[in-house]
Amino acid sequence: MKPKVSVIGAGNVGAEVARRVAEKDLVNVVLLDIVEGIPQGKALDMLQAGSIVGYNSHIMGTNDYADIKDSDVVVVTAGLARKPGMSRDDLLAKNTAIIKSVSENIKKHAPNSIILIVTNPLDTMTYVAWKASGFDAKKVLGMAPLLDLARMSSFIALELNVPVTEVKATVLGTHGDLMVPVPSQTKVSGKPIADLLPKEKIDKIVDRTRKGGAEIVGHLKTGSAYYAPSAAAAHMVEAILKDTKETICSSVMSNGQYGLNGLYIGLPAKIGKNGVEEIVEIELTDEEKQALKKSAEAIMANNEKCVKL
């Protein structure tokens, strides 16, 4: 039997995640939303694309959590997205309530699943999902640093006019203004970025990466990015289902690594069938270490706020 992936929230990101995992022909997919008709209509449309694209994944849409039973992975995209002028933190109160209720339903109906959070503010929503589900911390993780490093990689590829597949960027920390792009661990065809670009250009790329989400919100005006976010989430689902143990920068529960403890934050981690298999420690400069500490402080301040909600 094919593994089962449920996607909670059938909006822009959720529907694209469902489509991408269905197209990998890996899984059967359940798309769930509170709005009646939307997940059913989108799922039927995707199911019918299978005959043209050539996949046999079964896709169903629903408003009933009973349908997520026996899911191997549950991807959570339910919640509000940013509009121009909003920070990800502005979403905190509303999305905390949504993630609590979604996580309680996952605990009840898919207690053996791995939970992958996409909803913002990402690191704190992953923390809320961990608390509300009562799952082992390794079975709850967040998608964001993979998206952030994809943004950084694409800006570097544009600057150097090289294939983006040759760029290996690293981004750690929070998915927010204090995210930590890591130039010291960013390479193009194996060469350190500092050997290829002057510091001012690298600084500009770092800044554009930090503001990468807002740049897209500014263009779209009615919502936030979803093509690259869904690609990142689908890649992580594949790593879990295929047990690749690939090192993917993800929001994971820190347990002493990098001097951090008890918070979800973007770190390199091996991702496999048990969720977070191992957090990987890489060399950082003193400046990058300081930035990671500041990032952690911002996440902890949000975590404290949401615990009181």
Residues that are catalytic: 175
Judged by CB under 6 A, which stretch of 3-11, 43-51, 202-210, 288-296 contacts ligand A3D?
3-11
Task: Kindly state whether residue 80 participates in binding ligand A3D, applying the rule CB under 6 A.
Answer: yes
Burial grade of 204 (CB within 10 A; 0-12, 13-18, 19 or more) = middle
What element of type H or E holds 89? none
Applying CB under 6 A, the site for ligand A3D has a residue count of 34
Burial grade of 283 (CB within 10 A; 0-12, 13-18, 19 or more) = exposed
Contact residue for ligand A3D among 14, 183, 266, 272 (CB under 6 A): 14
Strand ranges of the sheet holding 167-168, from the earlier edge strand across to the other edge? 167-168, 187-188, 191-192
Cα–Cα distance, 284 to 140 (Å, whole number): 26
As a residue count, the chain comes to 309
Q: Residue 204 contacts by C-beta under 8 Å, 6 or more apart in sequence?
A: none
Of 197 and 214, which CB lies nearer to ligand A3D in the complex structure? 214
Task: Kindly state whether residue 82 participates in binding ligand A3D, applying the rule CB under 6 A.
Answer: yes
User: Do residues 252 and 262 lie in contact, with contact meaning Cβ atoms separated by under 8 Å?
Assistant: no
Cα–Cα distance, 126 to 303 (Å, whole number): 10
Task: Kindly state whether residue 127 participates in binding ligand A3D, applying the rule CB under 6 A.
Answer: no
Tell me the closest approach of the beta carbon of residue 148 to ligand A3D, in angstroms.
7
- Binding residues for ligand A3D restricted to 83-112, rule: CB under 6 A: 91, 95, 98, 101-102
Of the CA atoms within 13 Å of residue 166, those in its CB half-sphere come to 14
Cα–Cα distance, 263 to 267 (Å, whole number): 11
Q: Which residue, among 41, 102, 60, has the nearest Cα to 77 in the 3D structure? A: 102
Judged by CB under 6 A, which stretch of 118-126, 163-171, 204-212, 271-279 contacts ligand A3D?
118-126
- Binding residues for ligand A3D restricted to 240-269, rule: CB under 6 A: none
Of 26 and 144, which CB lies nearer to ligand A3D in the complex structure? 144
Tell me the closest approach of the beta carbon of residue 254 to ligand A3D, in angstroms.
18
Q: Which residues pair with 74 in a beta bridge?
A: 6, 115
Tell me the closest approach of the beta carbon of residue 36 to ligand A3D, in angstroms.
10
What element of type H or E holds 80? none
Task: Kindly state whether residue 43 participates in binding ligand A3D, applying the rule CB under 6 A.
Answer: no
Tell me the closest approach of the beta carbon of residue 125 to ligand A3D, in angstroms.
8
- Binding residues for ligand A3D restricted to 205-234, rule: CB under 6 A: 223-226, 229
- Binding residues for ligand A3D restricted to 278-297, rule: CB under 6 A: none
Of 2 and 305, which CB lies nearer to ligand A3D in the complex structure? 305
Cα dihedral across residues 151, 155, 161, 167: positive or negative: negative
Contact residue for ligand A3D among 33, 67, 277, 288 (CB under 6 A): 33
Phi, psi of 241 (to 5 degrees): -65, -35
Of 147 and 182, which CB lies nearer to ligand A3D in the complex structure? 147
Task: Kindly state whether residue 71 participates in binding ligand A3D, applying the rule CB under 6 A.
Answer: no
User: Do residues 74 and 114 lie in contact, with contact meaning Cβ atoms separated by under 8 Å?
Assistant: yes
Contact residue for ligand A3D among 79, 176, 183, 272 (CB under 6 A): 79
Task: Kindly state whether residue 119 participates in binding ligand A3D, applying the rule CB under 6 A.
Answer: yes
Task: Kindly state whether residue 122 participates in binding ligand A3D, applying the rule CB under 6 A.
Answer: yes
Omega prior to 121 cis, within 30 of 0: yes
What is the binding site for ligand A3D (CB under 6 A)? 8-14, 33-35, 77-82, 91, 95, 98, 101-102, 118-120, 122, 143-144, 147, 175, 223-226, 229
